[in-house]
């Protein structure tokens, strides 16, 4: 998984800073995966996971009660 529990716990509360940290982390991870992956499916899966996490995290900050229901 791209984002472990420690990474999630250390994210900034501010949406802009959090999205920047997530983007930077994903970019590094995706580059490393691209070097190792032989097919695009692995890269696409990591992309989907990263964007899904980012959307869920940003929604959690804005709507904490809604996030808890997911």
Mean pLDDT of 27-48: 65
Measure the N-to-C terminal CA separation of the chain; round to a whole number of Å.
Answer: 19
Which of 1-5, 16-20, 50-54 has the least mean pLDDT?
1-5
Asked if 51 and 65 touch (Cβ cutoff 8 Å), the reply is no
At 41-67, the pLDDT tens digits run: 556 666 777 777 777 776 666 555 554
Confidence at 34, pLDDT banded by 50, 70, 90: low
Asked if 63 and 28 touch (Cβ cutoff 8 Å), the reply is no
Kindly tell me if the per-residue pLDDT of 37 is higher than 70.
no
What's the whole-model pTM score? Answer: 0.50
Predicted pLDDT at 16 = 73
């Amino acid at each position: 998984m791209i984002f472990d529990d420690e990474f999630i716990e250390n994210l900034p509360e501010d949406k802009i800073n959090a999205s920047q940290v997530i983007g930077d982390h994903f970019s590094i991870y995706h580059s490393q995966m691209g070097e190792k992956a032989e097919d695009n499916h692995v890269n696409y899966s990591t992309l989907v996971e990263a964007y899904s996490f980012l959307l869920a995290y940003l929604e959690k900050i804005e709507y904490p009660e809604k996030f808890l229901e997911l």
